[in-house]
C-alpha cells in the first residue's frame, strides 16, 4: 500500500492513464523538458522532492547534524564533526554534496517557476497551485542553506547562461524565503492528491519555523496558531514506548500527526537507518560501522537527567554490545524489522507546531501564558502516555517559570520529543546556547567557525562572483 501512495518518488506519472509512466529519473528528463501541461510540470516538481529524498535526507545531512549534538557523537569518519576540531576532507566532501543537492532541487523549481506560466494548457488556478508548490520547495531549500552556510548565492532565475552570483546577505535570503512562503500559503491547496506533497498548512508550518529563526515572535505564534486552529492534525495517542511506531514505523503511510515528511519506499530507500545500528543485529540492515551513537550513558547529562518514566526515553534508546563498552547506547527511533529501509523521515510533525507556538507565545508576551503552557503540556503528557487534552500529575505549573526558564523548558521538551530528528543543533545555535551546552555536557569548546559550514570549492570553480579567500566563511 505504501508504495502505491508514494510512487512519485521513484517514477513520474506524465498522463492521466495509469499505463503511461515515464521510467527515467525526474531530474534527468522532467526538470529540463516538460512544461506544457500540468502533469508535465508536476513531473519537474517531483524531481525536486526526489532530490531531497536521495540527497541530503538520505544519510549525510542527518548524520553530520546528529554528530554535533550534546547527547551523542559521530563515529569513524563522522568523529571530526563531533569533536568540533574542524572538518576533515571526507566531511567537507559530504557538506559539499549537501550544498549541491539543495541547489539541484532549487534548479528544478526555478525552471518550473520560469517556464510553467508560458504554458497555454494550464488553467490559472492550477498554475497558481503548481507555482506555490515550487516556491515552497525553493523556500525550504534556501532555509536549509541559510541555516548551515549563512549568506549564500540567491538563485531565483534559471541562471543557465549566467551562473555568477555573489553571496546574498542572510537578511536578503530570509526576505526571499518569506516571500515564497507567503505565496505558497496563499495558493497551495488544503489537500494534495498524494501523501508527502506540500499543502497550505505545510507552508504555514515552515513559515512559523522561519519566523522563529528570524526572531519574529508574533508572526511565528500566529502561523503556528493557524495550523492548530485548522483542526487538521492531532497527536497520536500512546500508552507504551513502542506505540510511537504508529508515527515512525516503516508501514505507516501517514498519520494524524504528520505535517511534512520526506517519503521513502522500496524503490527510494532511507539509508539513514543503516548508519545507526549494528551489523548483523535485528536493528541494522547492512554492513559497516556506526555513524552515530551515545558513548557513555552514565555520564552524559542529557541521558542521566532524562526521566526513566518518560516513554520517549525507552522508545529512542537501546543497548547493544558494539565493542565500545557496556555504557554505550544506540538510537532506535528509525528501525525496520523487515529491512526495507522505507521509514519516512519527519521534517515537521504536529509536535513541532505546538512547541513553536509555546516558545513564540512566551517570547511575544515576555513570559509564559496559560495557553502556551497548555500546548507544551499536551506534548509532555503524550510523552508519558497520558491523555493529551486532560490535566495530569506530570503537567508543568505556570507559577514555576519565568520567560527564560520557560524557554529552557520548551527546548528540553524539543530535545526529548524530536530526539535524533536533526533539530537539536539548530535549536541550540539559534538560541545562542550551543557553546554553553556543548561545553557543559561534553567538555568541548566550540569555535565560531563551527556554527557554519565552508562554502564548497566547487562553487568557486563554477561561480566567478565569489572569491575563495574573501568570501569563505570564517575559519576555513
User: Of all residues in the chain, what percent carry a pLDDT higher than 90?
Assistant: 62
**In the predicted model, what is the mean pLDDT of residues 329-351?**
79
Predicted pLDDT of residue 273: 65
Q: In the structure, what pLDDT confidence band is assigned to residue 389 with cuts at 50, 70 and 90? A: very high
Give the lowest-confidence range in 192-196, 201-205, 239-243, 386-390: 192-196
In-domain check, residue 230: yes
In-domain check, residue 469: no
Of 274 and 334, the structure prediction assigns the larger pLDDT to 334
Predicted pLDDT of residue 61: 85
Of 32 and 210, the structure prediction assigns the larger pLDDT to 210
Give the lowest-confidence range in 31-45, 155-169, 431-445: 31-45
Q: In the structure, what pLDDT confidence band is assigned to residue 28 with cuts at 50, 70 and 90? A: very low
Summarize pLDDT for 110-126 with one digit per residue, the tens.
999 999 999 989 999 99
- Rounded CA-CA distance 44/36 in Å is 11
Is residue 326 pLDDT above 90, yes or no? no
Q: In the structure, what pLDDT confidence band is assigned to residue 24 with cuts at 50, 70 and 90? A: very low
Of 55 and 201, the structure prediction assigns the larger pLDDT to 201
Predicted pLDDT of residue 85: 79
**In the predicted model, what is the mean pLDDT of residues 369-385?**
99
Mean pLDDT over the full length of the chain? 86
Of 247 and 249, the structure prediction assigns the larger pLDDT to 247
In-domain check, residue 472: no
Q: 304: which 3 cell numbers?
A: 542521566
User: Do 246 and 238 contact (CB within 8 A), yes or no?
Assistant: yes
**In the predicted model, what is the mean pLDDT of residues 354-367?**
99
In-domain check, residue 474: no
Predicted pLDDT of residue 279: 54
Give the lowest-confidence range in 4-13, 35-44, 319-328: 4-13
Q: In the structure, what pLDDT confidence band is assigned to residue 463 with cuts at 50, 70 and 90? A: very high
In-domain check, residue 268: yes
Predicted pLDDT of residue 426: 97
Predicted pLDDT of residue 148: 96
Q: In the structure, what pLDDT confidence band is assigned to residue 2 with cuts at 50, 70 and 90? A: very low
Predicted pLDDT of residue 380: 99
Predicted pLDDT of residue 328: 81
Predicted pLDDT of residue 272: 65
Domain interval for residue 447: 2-462
Give the lowest-confidence range in 22-36, 92-106, 391-405: 22-36
Summarize pLDDT for 252-280 with one digit per residue, the tens.
778 999 999 887 765 666 666 666 665 55
- CATH code for position 37: 1.25.40.390
What total number of domains does the chain contain? 1
Q: In the structure, what pLDDT confidence band is assigned to residue 350 with cuts at 50, 70 and 90? A: very high
In-domain check, residue 475: no
In-domain check, residue 473: no
Is residue 354 pLDDT above 90, yes or no? yes
Is residue 25 pLDDT above 50, yes or no? no
In-domain check, residue 57: yes
Amino acid at each position: 500500500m505504501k508504495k502505491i501512495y508514494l510512487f512519485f518518488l521513484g517514477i513520474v506519472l506524465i498522463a492521466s492513464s495509469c499505463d503511461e509512466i515515464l521510467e527515467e529519473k525526474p531530474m534527468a528528463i522532467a526538470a529540463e523538458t516538460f512544461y506544457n501541461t500540468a502533469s508535465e510540470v508536476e513531473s519537474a516538481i517531483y524531481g525536486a522532492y526526489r532530490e531531497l529524498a536521495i540527497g541530503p535526507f538520505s544519510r549525510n545531512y542527518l548524520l553530520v547534524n546528529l554528530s554535533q549534538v550534546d547527547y551523542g557523537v559521530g563515529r569513524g569518519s563522522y568523529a571530526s564533526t563531533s569533536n568540533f576540531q574542524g572538518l576533515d576532507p571526507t566531511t567537507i566532501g559530504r557538506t559539499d554534496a549537501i550544498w549541491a543537492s539543495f541547489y539541484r532541487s532549487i534548479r528544478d523549481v526555478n525552471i518550473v517557476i520560469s517556464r510553467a506560466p508560458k504554458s497555454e494548457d494550464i488553467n490559472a488556478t492550477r498554475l497558481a497551485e503548481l507555482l506555490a508548490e515550487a516556491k515552497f520547495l525553493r523556500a525550504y531549500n534556501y532555509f536549509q542553506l541559510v541555516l548551515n552556510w549563512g549568506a549564500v548565492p540567491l538563485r531565483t532565475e534559471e541562471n543557465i547562461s549566467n551562473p555568477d552570483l555573489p553571496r546574498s546577505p542572510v537578511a536578503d535570503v530570509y526576505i526571499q524565503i518569506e516571500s515564497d512562503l507567503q505565496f505558497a500559503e496563499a495558493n497551495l491547496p488544503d489537500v494534495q492528491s498524494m501523501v508527502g506533497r506540500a499543502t497550505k498548512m505545510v507552508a504555514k508550518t515552515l513559515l512559523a519555523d522561519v519566523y522563529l529563526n528570524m526572531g519574529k515572535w508574533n508572526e511565528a505564534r500566529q502561523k503556528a496558531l493557524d495550523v492548530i486552529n485548522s483542526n487538521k492534525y492531532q497527536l497520536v495517542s500512546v500508552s507504551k514506548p513502542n506505540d510511537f511506531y504508529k508515527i515512525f514505523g516503516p508501514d505507516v503511510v501517514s498519520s494524524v500527526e504528520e505535517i511534512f515528511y520526506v517519503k521513502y519506499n522500496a524503490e527510494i530507500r532511507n539509508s539513514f537507518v543503516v548508519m545507526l545500528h549494528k551489523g548483523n543485529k535485528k536493528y541494522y540492515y547492512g554492513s559497516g560501522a556506526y555513524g552515530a551513537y551515545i558513548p557513555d550513558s552514565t555520564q552524559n547529562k542529557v541521558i542521566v537527567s532524562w526521566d526513566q518514566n518518560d516513554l520517549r526515553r525507552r522508545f529512542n534508546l537501546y543497548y547493544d554490545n558494539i565493542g565500545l563498552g557496556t555504557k554505550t547506547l544506540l538510537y532506535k527511533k528509525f528501525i525496520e524489522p523487515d529491512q526495507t529501509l522505507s521509514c519516512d523521515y519527519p521534517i515537521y510533525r504536529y509536535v513541532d507546531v505546538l512547541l513553536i507556538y509555546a516558545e513564540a507565545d512566551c517570547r511575544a508576551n515576555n513570559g509564559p501564558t496559560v495557553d502556551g503552557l497548555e500546548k507544551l503540556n499536551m506534548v509532555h503528557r503524550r510523552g508519558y502516555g497520558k491523555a493529551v487534552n486532560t490535566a495530569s500529575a506530570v503537567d508543568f505549573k505556570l507559577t514555576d517559570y519565568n520567560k527564560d526558564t520557560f524557554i529552557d523548558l520548551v527546548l528540553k521538551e524539543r530535545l526529548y520529543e524530536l530526539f535524533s530528528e536533526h533539530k537539536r543543533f539548530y535549536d541550540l545555535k539559534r538560541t545562542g546556547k550551543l557553546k554553553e551546552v556543548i561545553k557543559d555536557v561534553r567538555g568541548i569548546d566550540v569555535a565560531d567557525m563551527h556554527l557554519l559550514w565552508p562554502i564548497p570549492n566547487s562553487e568557486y570553480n563554477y561561480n566567478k562572483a565569489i572569491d575563495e579567500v574573501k568570501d569563505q566563511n570564517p575559519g576555513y
